[in-house]
Chain A
């Protein structure tokens, strides 16, 4: 149990385009999901907290107009990278916790390459 999926697993796009990444909890519901970013050979950095039915909370230094988050249901959160540029190229990972549990489970990640 406690499986989180992400789609797509990798994406290559041209500079200036927008990219949407989906995060789904497959066998549990989650009122809160989290988005992280990992640059090569570095650690994971929390970008934002996605709250079902309300606005996302962004970490300091993360542009909310660049990274749009929608948490429309208890099993789906989406991250849209708007007007992507090469510096947005990274590994994006989401996580979620089953209701009333504390362990966070991570998706397999999405590799974004902006040319």
Chain B
């Protein structure tokens, strides 16, 4: 199956800092999503981005499908950004389950 590697595994930053999270995957994919898992376990959709670049407020993401990696950028971090960020990929769009990376645990300190 597809292998998904996320880096860094842990990241501690001060409020206001910027961060870049990386996701490498081992094969071609038709689905790539970024999620934020909150302290209660809910997965919050951040981006559906199998290719290209998207922005939503302080967050943006870029996927370079030909080189099999995706980046999630968080600017002007806030304490509420803390949590685990997961990258997940799939081959068949909505018809296939997702393979998750191990996540990046982000802590934003005030």
Contacts and interface: CB of A to CB of B under 8 A. Distances in A.
Interface of A: 32, 34, 36, 38, 42-46, 49, 59, 91, 93, 95, 97-98, 101-106, 108-109, 111
Contacts, number: 59
B21 to A, nearest CB: 14
B103 A104 contact: no
B100 A108 contact: no
Nearest to B99: A46
Contacts of B94: 32, 97-98, 101-104
- Label chain B's interface by main secondary structure: mixed
Interface residues of B, number: 25
Contacts of A97: 93-95
Contacts of A38: 41
A109 B41 contact: yes
Interface of B: 30-31, 33, 35, 40-43, 45, 48, 50, 86, 88, 90, 93-103
B41 A91 contact: yes
A45 B4 CA distance: 12
